Structure 1
């Protein structure tokens, strides 16, 4: 499937800024199942392109001089293919063991440890069905509620609250995996949401599965308790939102901030629903 994507982010300020620096992970990854046909990021200021520690294409944006807003528009066309049974078969230079390390957002507390013990029991084969079952239970425990949490909300807080959004579902899943020493990583990106009502800017997970015919990463959308398909575009991977989120930064000045985000994902063509085995 080909996805036409437009992601507009505008920060507006009540007083002038004198300096802005933003880390942008707004360029889709080039992977076996994903090919970028065209892409551009339009902003003011200066962009410096680089590749981060997780092999994500990234930009450092700096804006100097007085300004009252920061506008970032990323758009283009991406060709994506549906992975066979969610399996991500790219060569990965990083050891999966680095994704067993918890972060501030994914450190499992007692409630998550108990939850993981219940749904990822010792001795249970870590196969696709087990992991999808965990995702379904997380959806049941943390209902989708826009605005209930912040990007700084931890997995422990989201599970205790019982509400959250896709990044919270992903963080709770990662924390459960950390509690059982299972490699799992955060994925940021986009989804052709169709009529689901969920935001088109999305987050999900890759988790290490061990099956009779496969050992490696599978990609699971925790919010929908399903495997990744060709309706998904992958931007970045990391240990959590902080290391894979689309935009992060700091500013000097500015007073009060208001944020406006608009994401459009439109399927434009199919590629015969090809599978990669």
Structure 2
């Protein structure tokens, strides 16, 4: 499926800022099942391109002139092939064990550990992981604005509401309880005729099925395997290590942030 994507991020400041540095993960990954047909990243200032430890294509953006607005636009087309039951052909350059270490957003408190014990077992296969996604979707109802990007999985479970990144964080935390490698995925989804956001997050988990050993990509929010409607931007341990934009600035007073993402699709 060919996905056409436009992602605009605009920061506006109440006073001039004199310096800003941001790390951008706004270029789709070159994974085996997705191919970039065209892509442009437009932003003021200077950009330095590099690959991070997880193989994500990143840019360091620096602006040293006085400014009261920063507009970043990432846009292009990506051809995404179907995945058989979410299975990824490329195991990646890192050991899966790297993704068994919990971070601040995926740490399992006693409540999360108890939830994981009820809905998952050690050595779980693909079907078991889908069942976990169903349980998370039922326990943490999707509600936009219910949480922040800094909300850990334990808080989202306790609240009973959240968004896609909360679902992914809770899924990862449950996998870690049983020693199953799991990682966070940021990206885009073709929302079709639904009201769901085009910017999305889901998770990969390492499975040892009878006929497959490797990463399986699971859209926890929709309780399904990720496929040709999902474009992968970055992977990491959690949102903090895979966020599309993050950085610091000097000056600028207070700020407002507007993000607009559009995704449309066309069969190849």
**TM-score of the aligned structures, taking structure 2 as reference length:** 0.98
Q: Displacement, 1:100?
A: 0.2
| Equivalent position of 2:230 in the other structure | 232
| Equivalent position of 1:147 in the other structure | 145
| Equivalent position of 2:5 in the other structure | 5
| Equivalent position of 1:241 in the other structure | 239
| Equivalent position of 1:274 in the other structure | none
- Distance in 2, matches of 1:185 and 1:195, equals 28
Counterpart of 1:88 in 2: which secondary structure? coil
- Distance in 1, matches of 2:131 and 2:81, equals 24
| Equivalent position of 2:176 in the other structure | 178
| Equivalent position of 2:155 in the other structure | 157
Unaligned runs of 5+ in 1: 272-277
Matched, 1:76 2:76: yes
Q: Give per-residue Cα distances to partners, 1:20-44, cap 9 Å, x unaligned.
A: 1110000000011000011010000
| Equivalent position of 1:196 in the other structure | 194
- Distance in 2, matches of 1:17 and 1:68, equals 6
Matched, 1:15 2:15: yes
| Equivalent position of 1:257 in the other structure | 255
Q: Give per-residue Cα distances to partners, 1:212-261, cap 9 Å, x unaligned.
A: 11111100000000001100100000000010110011111111110100
Q: Give per-residue Cα distances to partners, 1:111-134, cap 9 Å, x unaligned.
A: 100000111134xx4111100000
- Distance in 2, matches of 1:259 and 1:91, equals 36
Q: Displacement, 1:91?
A: 4.1
Matched, 1:94 2:111: no
- Distance in 2, matches of 1:178 and 1:255, equals 40
1:39-54 alignment runs, 5 A limit: 39-54=39-54
Counterpart of 2:102 in 1: which secondary structure? coil
Q: Displacement, 1:164?
A: 0.5
Name whichever of 84-93 and 41-50 sits farther off. Answer: 84-93
Counterpart of 1:133 in 2: which secondary structure? helix
Unaligned runs of 5+ in 2: none
Matched, 1:67 2:71: no
| Equivalent position of 2:208 in the other structure | 210
Counterpart of 2:94 in 1: which secondary structure? coil
| Equivalent position of 1:133 in the other structure | 131
Q: Give per-residue Cα distances to partners, 1:139-185, cap 9 Å, x unaligned.
A: 01100010111110000111111111000000000111111110000
| Equivalent position of 1:35 in the other structure | 35
**TM-score of the aligned structures, taking structure 1 as reference length:** 0.95
- Distance in 2, matches of 1:91 and 1:218, equals 10
RMSD value, Cα:
0.8
Runs (4+) off by over 4 Å: none
